[in-house]
Amino acid sequence: MQSRKPLIIGDLIIEKPIVQGGMAVRISTAELAASVSESGGLGIIGASGMDAEELRVEIRKARSLTSKPIGVNIMAAVSAFNELLRVALEEKVDAVFVGAGFSREFISAAKEAGVKAIPIISSKKAAALSEKLGADALVFESGEAGGHLGTLEGTFELLSDIAESVNVPLIAAGGLINSKDIQRAFNEGASAVQLGTIFAASEESNAHPDYKNYYINANSEDIVIIESPAGLPGRALKNKFVEEVVLTGRRHEPKFIKTCIKCLKKCKRNFCILDALICAQKGYVDEGLIFCGSRVEEVKEIKSVKDIFHELGF
């Protein structure tokens, strides 16, 4: 049995120290987030790739499914960042998590609105700066995580050092998949863990069943580090799209985004990541980008959130 200490962030108390990482585009929507919160953890809606009104609808839907706390994750790299943040604050979510870039303004704006500000950092330096700016808690996300990466170093290479250097609760993320990993993260100073891949493959995840099956059938040799148009490395599964477009730089015809909507503040334009993530979520798995964490090989079954909590010892 894991340490059952709740995650306490000021007046926000999360009964079980398990955070479900926000996952875009439309992988962690209301149903997954609410199920995780109902199970005692903190469920997070991945807002990047949505517009402001869609996010509002998702937040309200999650609130209708649970009375427990709900968070929103927004990538600082998206052009709609300010509008998405405004909606999250207007809807009074319990916490806003910001990754893939840095935003000073978000911390003060969230605090002013009475919402916990939780930056996602990948270095001791960014941890110190975030704490100085008033962050209520921090996610330390290592190079073992899925999606965009701020470092390529492993969770346990940096965790204890960062944990010792901060005074706010530290949530460890990246390549944590079983109860042993979670216990080790607690032993090395984490107050909670953030898990992505395991929840992306859950019954309640909004990913298409073919996406989840891609995870189930994946081997560690299928993992590649790609160059995202957002200017960051990202961890994904090698599929037709990655081999033919992402790794070769060949032009491709987007399936859903026919005209560029400038979704990123800065885009390298090596491929349309919005289209690729939408394709994957909708089940066009050969034409999409399937982000995953380093331990995806260990996800062997699609399970309910409740069963995942149980198996993790919570």
Rule CB under 6 A: which residues touch ligand FMN?
Answer: 21-24, 27, 46, 48, 73, 75, 99-100, 120, 141, 144-147, 173-176, 194-197, 200, 291-293, 295
Question: Which residues, in sequence order, are bridge partners of residue 121?
Answer: 140
CB of residue 144 to ligand FMN, shortest distance in Å: 6
Q: Which is nearer to ligand FMN, 166 or 274 (CB)?
A: 274
Q: Which is nearer to ligand FMN, 120 or 137 (CB)?
A: 120
Question: What are the phi and psi torsion angles at 113 (to 5°)?
Answer: -85, 0
Q: Which is nearer to ligand FMN, 98 or 245 (CB)?
A: 98
CB of residue 145 to ligand FMN, shortest distance in Å: 4
Burial 1-28 (b: 16+ CB within 10 A, else e): ebeeeebebeebebbbbbbbbbbbbbbb
Q: Which is nearer to ligand FMN, 166 or 236 (CB)?
A: 236
Q: Which is nearer to ligand FMN, 218 or 251 (CB)?
A: 218
Say how far apart CA 298 and CA 295 lie, in whole Å: 6
CB of residue 125 to ligand FMN, shortest distance in Å: 19
CB of residue 299 to ligand FMN, shortest distance in Å: 9
Q: Give the CB-side neighbour count of residue 126, counting CA atoms within 13 A.
A: 22
Q: Which is nearer to ligand FMN, 147 or 229 (CB)?
A: 147
Closest-CA residue to 174 (of 276, 303, 291) = 291
CB of residue 194 to ligand FMN, shortest distance in Å: 5
Q: Give the CB-side neighbour count of residue 224, counting CA atoms within 13 A.
A: 15
Say how far apart CA 209 and CA 203 lie, in whole Å: 9
CB of residue 96 to ligand FMN, shortest distance in Å: 11
Say how far apart CA 62 and CA 50 lie, in whole Å: 15
Tokens coding 153: 């170093």
Q: Are 57 and 84 in contact (CB under 8 A)?
A: no
What 3-state class would DSSP assign to 264? strand
